[in-house]
Amino acid sequence: MEPTSIPHRTFAAFQGCYCSQLSSASLSRDLQSSTTAPLLAHSFHETRSSILSLAANEDYIFSGSQSRHIAVWDKNTFQLKSVLRGHTGSILSLEYASEEKWLFSSSGDSTVRIWSTETLQPLYVIYPYMGEGAGDIFSLAWSSTLKTIFFGCQNTSLQWHDFRDSALNPSLALSSSSEENPTSGTSTPNTRKAHKFFDSYPQYERKAADIYANNGVGRIRGRISPDSDHSDLATGEGLGVPATNVMDSAHYGYIYCMTMLSERDGVVQFATGSGDETVKIWNFSDKTPTLAHEFECNHGAVLAIAARGDTIFAGCQDGYVRVFDLETKTLVRTIIVQEGVDIIAMSLLKSDLYVCSANGSIKRLSASFDCTASWSGHKGIALSSITTRRSVLDDSGYWLVTGGNDECIKIWEIMPSRAGVRPSDEDEGYYHPHKSCIGSGTYSDTMRFALSKFISIPSISSDPTHKEDCRQAAIWLKKCLGQLGAHTSLLANGEDSHVNHVVLATFKGSVSDKPNPRILFYGHYDVITAPTTATGGWKSDPFTLTGRNGYFYGRGVTDNKGPIIATACAAADLLSRRALDVDLVFLIEGEEECGSRGFKATVKKHKDAIGHIDAILVSNSTWIADDRPCITYGLRGVIHCNISISNARPDVHSGIEGGAIAEPMIDMVRLLATLVDNNRVIQVPNFYDKVRPQTDTEKELYKLLSDVTQKPASLLASRWREPSLTVHNVQISGPKNSTVIPGKVEAQISLRIVPDQGLDDIVRFLHEHLQKSFDDLRTPNTLKINVSHTADWWLGDLDDHWFKALESAVQEEWGVEPLRIREGGSIPSVPYLEKEFGCHALQLPMGQSSDQAHLPNEKISLVNLQKGKLVVERFLTKIAIEDFSKNAS
């Protein structure tokens, strides 16, 4: 097998087929049925050859093979019409120019040949600049407007030949290019210059390079030895590419694929994909291509490319398809076809994308990126594909033509899907995912499907046995957000490698002259424990998303996996409609249910990667009732404190030592009694000094909320805006029976603090009070005080532009003014993120008061989830209209 028989791009495919696979993270739903796989209409066979390239016109199917020739197959009779010979290397790309009736072919022999599709005779041979130094010519694209053929080379150069100058007098073009650049490749196939690499002997033999050198390994790069029979090689007129028609280092890797995008007003736009993991967009008029934009794929070499309208599909080496939008210059979606298995070829038919992989499989993906068909197309690698109308005699449908290294060309009967495609789009042949998704419920389906996978991962951060589940949840969420269009990464903790990773994902808005507002969405993928249904009160498996009576049930559906997925789908929906004009940065941690261990250190370490932030959006709470939307504008802070009193003796018997020793339990009871008086007023000195008094506006608000909840306003105020102290438990050493005096007693207490109490001040006041009260007991026992966790209070700004935009979005979506509420609980990361990024935070509850967060049968309403997504869309759209970043304080 010659080195160019199967391009370098397929190498990783062999490894990918055997890689161990985790459970699929793909968001493409499997919508296949027993009738969705297309019918195999016919197949062609090429003995001892791989089918590397395909093209078609009204009458023929052209196949380029490893065997250096191009087979011409009659569409009507399925018989071999002719064989086009002339290349001396594998045929790597074919391109049909319909208006000229030309077929272009490129090869591992470093030439591009042009054939008449009417006479099936050779017309021209194009030699690239630098001749064989250009290496394999992997890709072709024809511009009918400029009468120019573009080709991408192994030496990373982009070259082109303009037939407006040379088509009428090719010999003139050849001679002029020869004078300008004697090394431009003007020799005929049988008389060429020696190549310093491909034709060189081993250095120790000290021989000069030789065009007939084979170095003991037979044919080199498909060259034919001098004693071979050349009688069947057609040459055509020779054309050389001048130095002016070359862009060196157009990529930092081989240019594997190329496609024409548009031809308007004398300017053509085309795209190239490369081994450097990028897709580049080029504009070309008369002289030199200019780089219009560069998309980063970051999923291995780009091996296949397809386009409809302003949407580009890039097939990558590890089984991913990246979907880009040209108008907004954004990543719209990432499709996981099959992880670790290279995507070698892709073809589009209206809204359907056909993907051929290195394991021989072929998949059809719909406009909503769902898999509507999957079948084994080839016994080996599926190397090439095209879609074409059937023959002139049978114009009733289309064919998908695929070629593989199993020596077969297969013809599959296909019909375009009409779902989501408007007549105008179909007439133009354009594919607009942002149009097909409007009103179709596509992202509602995606939201349900994604949430079902997310819920199935028991990411319980408090249980060490679920450490790997937490890691898999982070990996899955990274892939999920990536498929929805975000640029993603995992952030390691800055101090403790055992702390769960943070997921960072950025949905980049449309590219414009001014910077986009940047919103940080904070959430957490970890959940609390969920006992089995037999003992924990669950009516269904807590880690299986279950729909019942208008609700989704499962651990984490409301706290906090549901809101994360809803917000991500909101961004994806806007992105697909070209309506995302802000940057939405997801920062999702995996330790929130354990006090956000390591979160601050991680943010500090990766703050540059997170970037500038204008506002923070959080959705990690619930409404005050079940039938009225709310916005949360306040959270209490918390101080968790462990108190330990012990003596120097072991546990003793109360019948022997009772009354003779100072008992730690009695000291603990007396110490705890000093914290609160008979009216439940906290007795820590200076504790209430800075608590804000209740304003008249607040009193009116609490009266309104009292009418809604049928609860006293004073009760709501005490839960939300007044500080509190709780004794959680008291634990003792020893066997815990009624005859033992424990030698050590521990108690856990917490304080909830409110504006404007200083967190550090309250910690100091508490410590001082406990120590003084203990000293007053005059006991020989020992006191230890440990503040194990703190979180500051948070209060939003009701007059802030961000808050008003969010409030307006809720009102427009629900048709009623949202209630302004506060929460008695704490979210440690919210006030921290405000201080770290110097901006305001907003809290959008999506769940209802009856959602049972942290309890059995946790649920969230389907309506709330869907409307929550739409509220986020409205909010992001509103803040994009005004330059909110300038108003942020």
DSSP-derived secondary structure letter, 635: E
DSSP 806-850: HHHHHHHHHSSPPEEEEESS--THHHHHHHHHTSEEEE---B-TT
Nearest Cα to Cα of residue 259 among 173, 138, 88 = 138
Find all residues with CB under 8 Å of 82, minimum gap 6, and list them. 72, 120
Q: Which residue among 592, 800, 858, 873 is the active-site one?
A: 592
CA distance 591 to 848: 24
Catalytic site residue 526? yes
Q: Chain-centre distance of CA 683, in angstroms? A: 53
CA distance 719 to 727: 16
Which strands, in side-by-side order, build the sheet including 267-274? 255-264, 267-274, 278-284, 290-296
Owner of token pair 């699929």: 24
The pair of structure tokens assigned to 543 is 């880690």
The pair of structure tokens assigned to 562 is 């549901």
Residue 642 Cα distances to 338, 669, 789, 824, angstroms = 51, 14, 10, 21
Instruction: Find residue 80's DSSP bridge partners.
Output: 73
Find all residues with CB under 8 Å of 383, minimum gap 6, and list them. 6, 10, 50, 51, 52, 344, 345, 356, 403, 404, 405
3 state SS for 46-85: CCCCCEEEEEECCCEEEEEECCCEEEEEECCCCCEEEEEE
Q: Give the CA angle between residues 433, 582, 833 to the nearest 5°.
A: 130
Residues 249-281 as b or e (16 or more Cβ within 10 Å = b) = ebbebbbbbbbbbeeeeeebbbbbbbbbbbbbb
| Start-end of H helices in 492-592 | 533-536, 561-576
CA distance 261 to 271: 7
CA distance 747 to 93: 76
Nearest Cα to Cα of residue 827 among 643, 610, 616 = 616
Q: Which residue among 95, 132, 526, 573 is the active-site one?
A: 526
CA distance 720 to 256: 61
How far from each other are the two terminal CA atoms of the chain, in whole angstroms? Answer: 67
Strands 630-635 vs 794-795: parallel, antiparallel or unpaired: antiparallel
Residues 438-458 as b or e (16 or more Cβ within 10 Å = b) = eeeebbbbbbbbbbbbbbbbb
Number of Cβ atoms within 10 Å of the Cβ of 538: 21
CA distance 7 to 232: 26
Catalytic site residue 428? no
Q: Are 55 and 96 in contact (CB under 8 A)?
A: yes
- Point out the residues that are catalytic: 526, 592
